[in-house]
Amino acid sequence: MSDIPLSQPDQAKDEVPWWRTAVVYQIYPRTFADSNGDGIGDLPGITSRVPYLRELGVDAVWLCPFYPSALADGGYDVDDYCNVDPRFGTLADFDALITVLHSAGLKVLIDIVPNHSSNRHPWFVEALGSRPGSAARDRYIFRWGAGSAGDQPPNDWQSQFGGPAWEPAGDGQWYLHLFAAEQPDLNWHNQQVRADFRRTLRFWADRGVDGFRVDVAHGLIKDLNEPYQPWSRLSDITRPDGSHPLWDREELPEVYREWRQVFGSYDPPRIAVAEAAVHPTRRHRYGADGLGMAFNFEMQEADWDPADYRRVIDSGLGDLAKGNTPTWLLGCHDTPRVATRYGLPRQDGGTAQQIARQWLLTDGRQPSVDPTLGQRRARAAIMVLLALPGSTYIYQGDELGLPEVPDLPAEELQDPMAIRSKGKEKGRDGCRVPLPWTTDGPSFGFGPGPARPPQPPWYGEYSVDGQSTQRDSTLALYRATLALRRTLLAGDDFAWQDTGSDNVMAFRRAGAWLSITNFGPRSFAMPAGDLMLASSPLDRDQLPTDTTAWLRST
């Protein structure tokens, strides 16, 4: 794909394109800030908080979907790709937000959802009203049902959110939805679908967005040739060889090549980051050889464990050899909060992710979580991520050390995962509780009205206002780390440093500074160097347990 310009104008000047080292703040609009008191966060709410983002010191924001939607999956069910849901604001509000972000020096990525539309999208409404085999149906994935009357789904495939992946159209055909039934999968073999999405990309690029986050980027192309493989044979979704019929197909780069042509037609070229849950050896197909960048989810899956961290860092840096920008994240709107994951006891045979999901099912009663420990480790962790080459994503509220809310009342749960799995999964609402901006007041400053889902009484302890005046708060640590990172930018130069202890991980950057993390139960003697910053106070010359420090080499 080297024939397509992604960042040649910058490279010619021998500069690193902004996104290769960007710290990107992820905003979930519904729960970030509410300007008008209806309990739903909105675009003017975000605009009012741009000074906060600027002070935090991030380089860019990623806006989760704000498009017209029934919010059956938090807005990942899009009715109209080129508009703003009235509950979030208007296109004029969007333009105002972009202007204010840009004048604060922040870039903007927006979420684009190409794998599926909503069931209220005019195309899908037309498809349901059209006959089998029609052009309208060809934009989606319709198949005849099984059984003599066609009253059985075509096969036993399951939705990612639980339950069957097929829904009856009422005339013997069924449509495929790998997510909720309100999210019919689009047919990416259809040229009209492809052309329309390129138009959508241009619509937003023309409005000034700097790039896109591409939802389910590994899912667009499917092989539905019969005979269908049974679901039991399809559980390994991250294969090294592109042989899965639903995910990470070999044909996908062709789609993204067309997108890159669109991006390359702008100056500066637009960029995209792929949400691609693929085998690590295939990440570059979505990154350097695909959309420009790809998320690496391995860090989010990792435990607070030195062996896990070393392995995940090596894997991420391995991308550099393929021209890929390493990307790092501790959490997002789909994962139990990192400050909680790292505060749960380790158990045999389960990752921190799996343990946290189990814990959610008990409303947070069993096993017991240690929030102080979780937050301490999460602080040490973000200092590791921000010391690494590449780009880092921060999920809104992680800079406050917000824990997961495990005990939302069942009637407040909105996630289709909770609803469809019938109690087998609690879903993702507990990391999507509106942010606390003030220590008290209605909805802790989220807006003049209520917060949905409701905030727990202890939320005010984590508020922005409260933490802004505390020198040792997690927010203060994030601000200090981000400010320091700006002064230290070290390119891709990275070298592991032997510490003599398996529990203590250290690496040197640009030959000039060192990041060192103590995962072990006992303090560790600090190596030589001037201390620049530490995630927890040092104990004289000792690095305490669960702490990261950055040192300038002497």
Query: Under the rule (CB under 6 A), what is the footprint of ligand GLC?
Result: 73, 76, 113, 179, 215-216, 275, 333-334
Query: Tokens in use for 440?
Result: 């008290």
Cβ-closest position to ligand GLC: 76
**Residue from 215, 398, 404, 546 carrying the catalytic annotation:** 215
Per-residue contact flags (x/-) with Ca ion for residues 510 to 539, judged by CB under 5 A: ------------------------------
Q: What is the layout of strands, in order, in the sheet containing 211-214?
A: 292-294, 271-274, 211-214, 107-112, 60-63, 23-27, 391-395, 327-329
Query: Tokens in use for 539?
Result: 């104990």
How far apart CA 21 and CA 41 sit, in angstroms, is: 29
Among 42, 79, 167, 182, binds Ca ion (CB under 5 A): 42
Residue 93 annotated among the catalytic residues of the structure: no
Q: Does 40 help bind Ca ion (rule: CB under 5 A)?
A: yes
541 φ, ψ to 5°? -100, 25
Output 244 or 333, the one with its CB closest to ligand GLC: 333
Q: 191-206 and 252-264 helices cross at what angle (nearest 10)?
A: 30
Output 116 or 377, the one with its CB closest to ligand GLC: 116
Q: Residue 73 binds what, of ligand GLC, Ca ion, none (CB under 5 to 8 Å, by partner type)? A: ligand GLC
Strands, E assignment, 156-297: 166-168, 173-176, 211-214, 271-274, 292-294
Question: Tokens 């990942």 sit at which residue?
Answer: 76
Are 153 and 135 spatial neighbours (Cβ–Cβ below 8 Å)? no
**Residue from 275, 303, 404, 429 carrying the catalytic annotation:** 275
Q: Residue 40 binds what, of Ca ion, ligand GLC, none (CB under 5 to 8 Å, by partner type)? A: Ca ion
Piece of 38-46, 154-162, 189-197, 369-377 that binds Ca ion (CB under 5 A): 38-46
Output 115 or 473, the one with its CB closest to ligand GLC: 115
- CB atoms closer than 10 angstroms to residue 402: 25
CB of 124 to ligand GLC, least distance (A): 15
CB of 450 to Ca ion, least distance (A): 11
Residue 275 annotated among the catalytic residues of the structure: yes
Among 18, 36, 120, 370, binds Ca ion (CB under 5 A): 36
Report CA torsion sign: 440, 445, 449, 450.
Answer: negative
Per-residue contact flags (x/-) with Ca ion for residues 5 to 34, judged by CB under 5 A: -----------------------------x
Give, in degrees to the nearest 5, the angle at Cα 537 between 389 and 513: 30
Cβ-closest position to Ca ion: 42
| Residues from 116 through 135 that contact Ca ion (CB under 5 A) | none
Hey, is 272 helix, strand or coil? Answer: strand
Q: Residue 34 binds what, of Ca ion, ligand GLC, none (CB under 5 to 8 Å, by partner type)? A: Ca ion
Q: 474-488 and 371-385 helices cross at what angle (nearest 10)?
A: 10
Q: Is 389 exposed, middle or buried (0-12, 13-18, 19+ CB in 10 A)?
A: buried
How far apart CA 238 and CA 247 sit, in angstroms, is: 8
- Stated as kind and residue range, the H or E segment containing 508 is strand 504-509
How far apart CA 90 and CA 22 sit, in angstroms, is: 28
DSSP structure class, residue 109: E
CB of 49 to ligand GLC, least distance (A): 22
Output 180 or 201, the one with its CB closest to ligand GLC: 180
Output 184 or 389, the one with its CB closest to ligand GLC: 184
Output 113 or 128, the one with its CB closest to ligand GLC: 113
327-329 vs 292-294, strand pairing mode:
unpaired
CB of 333 to ligand GLC, least distance (A): 6
CB of 49 to Ca ion, least distance (A): 13
Report the candidate in 343, 296, 482 with the shortest Cα–Cα distance to residue 399: 482
Q: Residue 315 binds what, of Ca ion, ligand GLC, none (CB under 5 to 8 Å, by partner type)? A: none
Which positions are catalytic? 215, 275
User: Which residues of this protein are in contact with Ca ion, per CB under 5 A?
Assistant: 34, 36, 38, 40, 42
